[in-house]
Amino acid sequence: MKLQYLGHSAFRIVSEKGISIVIDPFLDRNPLATLKSDQLSAEYIVLTHAHGDHVGDTLSLAKKGNTTIIGVGELMSMFAEKGYKTHSLQIGGAFRFDFGRLKLVPALHGSLTHDGRYAGLAAGVVLSIDGKNIYHCGDTGIFGDMKLIGEMQPIDLLLIPIGGNYTMDADDALWAVKLVQPKLAIPMHYNTFPLIKADPHEFVGRLSKQGFNGKVMEIGEELSF
């Protein structure tokens, strides 16, 4: 399996079978993103919530009929109305797709569309692909059940926000890593806007002092697992 960081909270996962899954594709309107929606293809797009920096360029990346958009039902109904293929879940629900299992887990955050429509609950995602468990936290503050999420499915890769203001900051993310106990933590959701300025290298340094593995992924960088 390959994991590529696309900037902000956007990641692309390519399974061993070659199935491509893009999470929160904020690409064309993110000046820091090096890969734009017309340079990528995705069999699946996973959306954690309705905010513009997560739904991002779903409409240009998704190909009607070929791409399945996955997320909570209220948000998915907006894409289904436009003729896109969707798969609706709710928090705590999981489904076995051809790439592996995907489960929605809680996130403490809002989820209103840019035009003010209620889009259901914000979510985190646990993906089980090629024998690895990846927990993408979405946008969230810290919460105690992160410990339960890590106990129910031992997490290989934790993709965790550190930017503060809208989500947990690096101090809280350090606590969250202690709760989840992942094999590797990768910071996200920082430095895209002035309000979410954070030093990911300092965060990873603090992690390692506490015995945890962290890695700063450069935008565009790809890792194999």
- Which residues contribute to the site for Ni ion (CB under 5 A)? 51, 139
Q: Which residue blocks in 43-199 are alpha helix, DSSP H? A: 52-55, 58-61, 73-81, 146-152, 170-180
195 versus 211: smaller Cβ distance to Mn ion: 195
Residue whose pair of structure tokens reads 């965060």 in the numeric block = 203
CB of 141 to Ni ion, least distance (A): 11
111: phi then psi, degrees, rounded to nearest 5: -160, 80
First to last CA, the chain: 5
Of 30 and 133, the one with the shorter C-beta distance to Ni ion is 30
| Residue closer to Mn ion, measured from CB, 139 or 169 | 139
- How far apart are CB 198 and Ni ion at their closest, in Å? 16
Residue-level length of the chain:
225
Question: Least distance to Ni ion from the beta carbon of 164, Å?
Answer: 13
Compare residues 165 and 210 and give the one whose CB is closer to Mn ion: 165
**Residues engaged in binding Mn ion (CB under 5 A):** 53, 139
**What gap in Å lies between CA 7 and CA 136, rounded to an integer?**
14
CB of 29 to Ni ion, least distance (A): 14
